[in-house]
A = this chain, B = another copy of it.
Amino acid sequence: MDFVNYFPVWGKLTPAQQSRILGSVMSRTVKKGTVIHNGSEECTGLLLIKSGQLRAYILSEEGREITIYRLFDRDMCLFSASCMLRSIQFEVVIEAEKDTELWIIPSEVYKGIMEESAPAANYTNELMAARFSDVMWLIEQIMWKSLDKRVADFLLEEASIEESRELKITHEAIANHLGTHREVITRMLRYFQSEGMVQLSRGLVRITDEEKLRFALARGFRSVL
């Protein structure tokens, strides 16, 4: 089974632990846009991504969003199994950003193994530490970085993920990633366009001068808002 090659610390589990996982793991394919886990619902389980892309975000009471991290091939999603750890007191939504193939390990199975296996528990520690680093990076962005730089950063990151300068993304979606309003993003992108860095059309942002965008990111944009 393919799964065994994707699951970390597999070789450090006992045969009994391995068979408990193999006996309970489920394979699932989800379409882009599917909400796989919604904070307020039941414990979905640990997600292991075979291929695809997931986004974890939080929601305000008014329905505003901000992306807290993204997961790619071979990544494992811990917070969809947050019921495993009683100290987790927050809710995230996990959504497929692309068609995604994944495995789901039931929370109680993983929890049981973690309780008896130091390697599994330590791996989980590293996993949480990695997400913690993502979130600390986000705080620094929000606190100390102006929005123009965050938008430029996001566009360049998207281009790198998609391996394309033609980004099929709406202003609304960018706003939801960055935790701001669509109008603010539209104004910012129009400024970028007026500076020749991007070209806008419906549902599309094309990076026309990546170097200039990088330069502006490093050296600072003129204040535009």
Contacts and interface: CB of A to CB of B under 8 A. Distances in A.
A186 to B, nearest CB: 20
A130 B58 contact: no
28 contacts: A58-B140, A60-B140, A60-B143, A61-B144, A62-B144, A64-B143, A64-B144, A66-B139, A85-B129, A86-B126, A87-B127, A87-B130, A88-B132, A88-B133, A89-B136, A89-B137, A90-B132, A90-B137, A114-B122, A114-B125, A121-B124, A125-B125, A125-B128, A128-B128, A128-B129, A132-B132, A135-B135, A135-B139
Contacts of A133: 87-90
Contact of A87 (B58, B87, B129, B138): B129
Given A58-B139, A86-B129, 17 more contacts: A58-B136, A58-B140, A85-B126, A87-B126, A88-B129, A89-B130, A89-B133, A114-B122, A118-B118, A121-B121, A121-B125, A125-B125, A131-B132, A135-B136, A139-B142, A142-B142, A142-B143
Given A124-B125, A125-B124, A125-B125, A143 B66 contact: yes
> Which secondary structure characterizes the binding site on chain A?
helix
Nearest to A85: B129
B122 A115 contact: yes
Given A87-B133, A118-B118, A121-B118, A139 B61 contact: no
A130 B120 CA distance: 19
Contact of A179 (B66, B132, B143): B143
A104 interface: no
Contacts of A138: 139
